[in-house]
Amino acid sequence: VPQLEPILKETYGVVVYQEQVMKIAGDLANYSMAEADDLRKAMGKKIPEILAKHRERFMEGASDNGIPPEKAGKIFYLMEKFGGYGFNKSHSAAYSMIAYQTAFLKAHFPVEFMASLLTSEMHSTDGVVKYIAECKSHGIKILPPDVNESDKEFTVKGSKIRFGLVAVKNVGENAIDSIVKARNEAGKFSSIFEFCERVDLKKVNKRVIESLIKCGAFDSTGDYRSRMTASIE
């Protein structure tokens, strides 16, 4: 349809912006600006009943402008599909800037970039699992949690990433602060017993210690997890 060329030329024929949807509705189906804005909302929120009404309205308007029904139907379908990823034009500069920056960081500083991504999702198990899989696909090794090495967040250790303690289930930030404080004051922990003597047990309770044992955070002390679990009391 020749009417689409001036509307979609700058995006290579692809519907990208909400403003393009509104302009197509206006130029091809004689929509008023208010109607076009209603169509934009319906597509953005994917409201089936309102979209069905707009489809009928769009087909009628397009027919009045001599556009064949099959073409009008295809155009409306493409506009509907746009609803899944479209945004307003003013956002495009900001989005492209962020896309460029993140692509640059991932290409040139992949370990630091992935550590930051993991930290941003450390309260979400699904997010952590997703980004650990991404690290594996890029050959970036994730080191397990360790009371003697891990910080609160995911950290970079050479070409590897050390698991952040906040991402360990049942281990809260107050407990981690106490662990890191004790470690900074008197060095690494040699055993679970010494650990319990040095940390604040009001913050690092039995549940926290159990979780740290199970995730392997005490493995560097050289003891078996089963023995440590049996000796918690």
Q: Select from 18, 24, 23 the least CA-distant residue to 83.
A: 18
Contact criterion met (CB below 8 Å) for 132 and 118 = yes
Residue with tokens 């029904």: 69
What is the Rg, in whole angstroms, of the alpha carbon atoms belonging to the chain?
28
Q: What is the pLDDT of residue 43?
A: 87
Percent residues over pLDDT 90 in the chain: 82
Q: What is the pLDDT of residue 29?
A: 96
Q: What is the pLDDT of residue 98?
A: 95
Q: What is the pLDDT of residue 93?
A: 86
Contact criterion met (CB below 8 Å) for 190 and 203 = no
- Strands in 62-202 per DSSP E: 142-143, 155-157, 160-162
Residues 64-119 pLDDT 10s: 999 999 999 999 999 988 877 888 899 888 989 999 999 999 999 999 999 999 99
Residues 154-164 pLDDT 10s: 999 999 999 99
Of 48-52, 100-104, 225-229, which range is least confident?
Answer: 48-52
Q: What is the pLDDT of residue 83?
A: 75
What amino acid is encoded at 86 in this protein? G
Phi, psi values for residue 155, rounded to 5°: -125, 155
Between 45 and 25, where is the model more confident?
25
- The H or E element that residue 158 is part of is none
Residues 216-226 pLDDT 10s: 999 999 999 99
Torsion angle (degrees, nearest 10) of CA 136, 141, 144, 146:
-150
Residues 185-224 pLDDT 10s: 999 999 999 999 999 999 999 999 999 999 999 999 999 9
Residue 49 has pLDDT above 90, yes or no: no
Phi, psi values for residue 47, rounded to 5°: -95, 105
- The H or E element that residue 149 is part of is none
